[in-house]
Amino acid sequence: MTPRLHPRVLLVEGNDELRALPELLERAGIPWPRGSEPVHIKELNGVENILATGLIEAEAKASGLVSLGVLVDADGDLANRWSSRPCSSR
């Protein structure tokens, strides 16, 4: 298995979060230096892909991971979708 490139990963729903999050953090006074970003943002093209069976578990078990976050839009009934996920990490 290839070692993880970044110890902190944030899974995001779409390109909007991918682009907006660094800007928001910089406005809040959190530096976002290009080339040494504080977290790797991984865009997954939809909440369905983030909640797909096994994806979060696989990311969490990746070599070298220190922290894993998930960021999705507030639209829809995410609580219901999350609770219906067949996984052991709830």
Instruction: Provide the edge-to-edge strand list for the sheet that holds 8-12.
Output: 40-43, 8-12, 67-71
pLDDT per position as a tens digit, 12-62: 999 988 899 999 989 999 999 988 899 999 999 988 899 888 899 999 998
Token couple for 44: 């997954």
Distance CA 68, CA 83 (A): 19
Instruction: Classify 63 as helix, strand or coil.
Output: coil
Domain residue spans in the chain?
Answer: 8-83
For the cut 80, the answer to whether the pLDDT of residue 8 exceeds it is yes
Distance CA 29, CA 5 (A): 25
Instruction: Classify 15 as helix, strand or coil.
Output: helix
Residue indicated by tokens 């040494």: 36
Q: Return the pLDDT at 31.
A: 92
